[in-house]
Amino acid sequence: MGPAVAAYKIPTVARSWFRPTGLCDRDAMVRLQRDAAAVATFSSPTDGVPDLVGGVNQAFLETEGTTRVVSAAVVMRRGSDGWTLVETAFATAPASILYVSGLLAFREAPAAISALCSLEADPAVVLVDGSGRLHP
């Protein structure tokens, strides 16, 4: 077992009251997601392509009747000869709820946030696989 698995932590995030936990019913999750979407900002960099870009995505590990979310985060640097890898991190967390269409953050975000918070680099933008603005 790698260190991120053994030392899973709940990272600090801005607006921690929006942290998905999966500890509420579907209607409460929908309300929380809508509240978060109402204050989210969606904008593009005005000064071209950022030098540091991050990305995060999840997979699932099924063992002995339990499901864990495995999240990998990367940071790439833009240079004159293309993009180079700066850093990687990973984290796992229990899948605290079953798949609920439109509410993936409540299942996947704890591992994704932990992986991103493990990075030392500070990317200008992070690409996340999802359509949170469109759901629910």
Q: Provide the edge-to-edge strand list for the sheet that holds 125-128.
A: 82-94, 66-79, 52-63, 125-128
Cα separation, 56 vs 110, whole angstroms: 12
Q: How confident is the model at residue 106 (pLDDT cuts 50, 70, 90)?
A: confident
Domain parsing of the chain, residue ranges: 1-10+51-130
Amino acid 35: pLDDT: 82
Higher pLDDT, 118 or 29: 118
Higher pLDDT, 56 or 104: 56
Distances 128 to 55, 125, 132 between C-alpha atoms, Å: 6, 10, 9
Range among 23-37, 67-81, 100-114 rated most confident: 67-81
Reported pTM: 0.73
* Ranges 47-61, 78-92, 118-132: which has the least confidence: 118-132
Query: Domain 1-10+51-130 is in which class?
Result: alpha beta
Q: What is the mean pLDDT of residues 60-87?
A: 93
